[in-house]
Amino acid sequence: MSGTGRVMGVDYGERRIGLALSDGLRTVATPLETLTIDNPKQAMRRLRELIAEHQVQALVVGHPLHMDGGRGDLALAAEAFVEKVKRQLPQLETHLWDERLSSVEAERTLRHGAAKADRRKAMRDQLAAQLILQSWLDARNMDSTAPEEWMNF
């Protein structure tokens, strides 16, 4: 996998898809957009547009495993979504990333802010995508940091 280039984080849900985007150096994730799944073809078309517009090289999709690591309906839906993306965009790297509690953490963060309930729903999905992506970026950056770099303050 390339070490640079934008990565898109995805919080895939039954009604909405939260999206986040990394910077080109893959260090910081920011919320991007929330897609509604009223029309799945339209949502997928918008996703492809955003991937092209931001020159996204990889997609990190939250994998909502149960606390015991088991796969339920939501995990299977996320896996099916990844397979659909792979068929439509075979050149795009795709990764499933354990997202346990990301939506809960996103909601907790938003409750401490001033966002109204209707605005929180869309923001929660974007923030969950941001948390998923930032976790993935941090894990990758931690693995690739050479020990001598840590010593150069």
The fold of the 6-142 domain, in CATH, is Nucleotidyltransferase; domain 5 (3.30.420)
Alpha carbon distances (Å) from 15 to 101, 116, 151: 18, 19, 46
Joined together, the tokens standing for residue 46 give: 């918008």
The structure tokens 């893959």 sit at 26
Is the full-model pTM beyond 0.85?
no
- The number of beta carbons lying within 10 Å of the beta carbon of residue 74 is 17
Spans of all domains in the chain: 6-142
What are 17-45's pLDDT values in tens digits? Answer: 999 999 999 999 999 999 998 998 999 99
Which of 45, 41, 34 is closest to 129 using CA atoms? 34
